[in-house]
Amino acid sequence: MSISLSRLLDLVGKLDDTPGTDTPRERFRGFLKSDVKDLGTLRDYIEGCLRGQGDQYSCAFQDLVNHLGTIMGFEVEFGRYRGVSGEIGFDGLWKSPTGFNVVVEAKKSDVYAVKTSTLLNYVDELISERRIPDWDRALGLYVIGRAEPGVSQLEKAIIAEKNADKLRTMNVGSLVSLAELMVEYDVDHEDVLAVIKPSGPAIDPVVDLIARLVTEEPTKEQLRPEVKVAEEEIEEAHYWMTPVRGDKDMTAEEVIRTLVGEIGIYAFGERTPGRTTIKPGDWMCFYSCGAGVVAHCQVASSPERKPHPKVRLSEKYPWTFKVRDAKLYLDRPVAIDASLRERLDAFSHADARKPWGWFVVTTRVLSKRDFLLLTGQSES
């Protein structure tokens, strides 16, 4: 059984930049290298960091992001947790076998304003020291943990300063999904680079598209039994889980609080699975990336194509339906960790410790038992 993140951090000690080969920092990074090779556990640890508070979890988050880089085929140089005079303060330097370099800034939260000049200067200094060749073979990448509304200001700054060819932003959930595509499908290191280097500052929509396509249309060899069952029995299903994403102005939790908790509605997009099937009397729970299941409710009407003025981006999510009996637990989410996954019917034919992003990437049917487990209403 995998050790929990909190227990692991207690065992290694306080993470800091103390030099040496037997320091908490080196013990933690060594454990990641030798023992954390499956992406299911890695996603669990990252979500644990996002739920945790304090410097220990922020430092661990930085190391976990860098460990993702090694899994995706980069040679990774771990950076310091805190900058000091005389040293370049990058969080991670990822060197691709192709000769391309990614200079990483890992931000567990974007609550504080981020100056793009800082990351640009890191790259310039690395070029000056000849540790990377030039800007033609370099990119600055912000990996964001919990994207607060302020992240849009970072993206706007990248565009306004005409640095879209030098800087990108990416949610850590999308980064894990990208790594899972390498493990589960025919995606290689150069494909990863092609995704990281497109035009425009935000990478998340590209990864979301790929993840959705492979989830909706898996090959015969990749089709999981539980997905096939859901497709065959969808008309009898009465329990659903849907992922919720924030936008430039609202976090996922704020979206749930406003739509489900206050107004009593929710909205789907044109291609959301279940849009034409969900009906009054069904139950739905809501998953927030990095947190877990944060609310559930009962469906009170069938989705209709009537954009609601309170739904942000209503042109993207025009199918609206009413909900009732909402229960919100935004501050005490149900984490979908390995111990919970091992009890879910959806994982009866899947290894609960292997990549599990497929389970939360799109709206899906649940068994009643799984619904009760995921909403904290049952322990078994």
Q: Which of these three, 191, 216, 241, is where a domain ends?
A: 216
* pLDDT recorded at residue 151: 64
Return the CATH number at 150.
Answer: 3.40.91.30
pLDDT band at 157 (very low <50, low <70, confident <90, very high): confident
168, 185, 216 - which closes a domain: 216
Query: What's residue 351's pLDDT?
Result: 85
Per-residue confidence (pLDDT) for residue 315, from 0 to 100: 84
**Domain range for residue 241?**
225-374
Q: 264-307: per-residue pLDDT in tens?
A: 999 999 888 888 889 999 999 999 988 999 999 999 999 999 99
Q: b/e for 129-145, b at 16 or more Cβ within 10 A?
A: eeebeeeeebbbbbbbb
The answer as to whether 294 is a domain residue is: yes
Q: Please enumerate, as own/partner, the contacts of 68-72 that have beta carbons within 8 Å and a separation of 24 or more.
A: 68/42, 68/175, 68/176, 68/179, 69/94, 69/102, 69/104, 70/33, 71/37, 71/39, 71/42, 71/179, 71/182, 72/178, 72/179, 72/182, 72/189, 72/192
pLDDT at 236: 62
The 10s digit of each residue's pLDDT in 345-360 is: 999 988 888 889 889 9
Is residue 226 scored above 50 in pLDDT?
A: no
Q: Which residues contact 129 (CB under 8 A, 6 or more apart)?
A: 88
Would 101 be classed as within a structural domain? yes
Under the banding of pLDDT at 50, 70 and 90, the label for residue 147 is low
Interval 207-214 mean pLDDT: 65
Q: Which residue has the higher pLDDT, 202 or 78?
A: 78
Q: Are both 231 and 156 inside the same structural domain?
A: no
Q: What is the mean pLDDT of residues 361-368?
A: 92
Q: Please give the full DSSP string across 205-247, using - where no structure is assigned.
A: HHHHHHHHHHHHS--TTT--HHHHHHHHTGGG--EEEEEE---
Predicted confidence at residue 345, as pLDDT, reads 95
pLDDT value of position 233: 45
pLDDT score of 222 more than 70: no
Mean pLDDT of the chain: 87
Q: Are 23 and 137 members of one domain?
A: yes
pLDDT band at 223 (very low <50, low <70, confident <90, very high): very low
Do 77 and 49 fall within a single domain? yes
pLDDT confidence bin for 149, thresholds 50/70/90: low
User: What pLDDT is recorded for position 212?
Assistant: 60
Q: Is residue 333 part of a domain?
A: yes
Per DSSP, what are the bridge partners of residue 321?
Answer: 266
Location of structure tokens 């391309």? 100
| Residue 363 within a domain | yes
Where do runs of H (alpha helix) occur along 275-360? 338-341
More confident residue, 223 or 199: 199
Q: Which amino acid is at 212?
A: R
Residues 153 and 251 in one domain: no
**Domain's final residue, options 189, 216, 243:** 216
Check residue 329 and give its pLDDT. Answer: 97
Task: Flag whether pLDDT at 156 surpasses 70.
Answer: yes
Q: How many structural domains are present in the chain?
A: 2
Q: Is the pLDDT of residue 224 over 80?
A: no
Percentage of the chain lying above the pLDDT 70 cut:
87
pLDDT digits (tens, 9 = 90+) for 18-65: 999 999 999 999 999 999 988 999 999 999 999 999 999 999 999 999
Average pLDDT of the residues in 77-85: 91
* Residue 358 φ then ψ, to 5°: -55, -25
Q: How confident is the model at residue 125 (pLDDT cuts 50, 70, 90)?
A: very high
Q: Is the pLDDT of residue 245 over 60?
A: yes
**pLDDT band at 255; cut points 50, 70, 90:** very high
Residues 283 and 308 in one domain: yes
Q: Do 211 and 251 share a domain, yes or no? A: no
77 confidence band (pLDDT: 50, 70, 90): very high
Range picked from 8-12, 223-227, 312-316 for highest mean pLDDT: 8-12
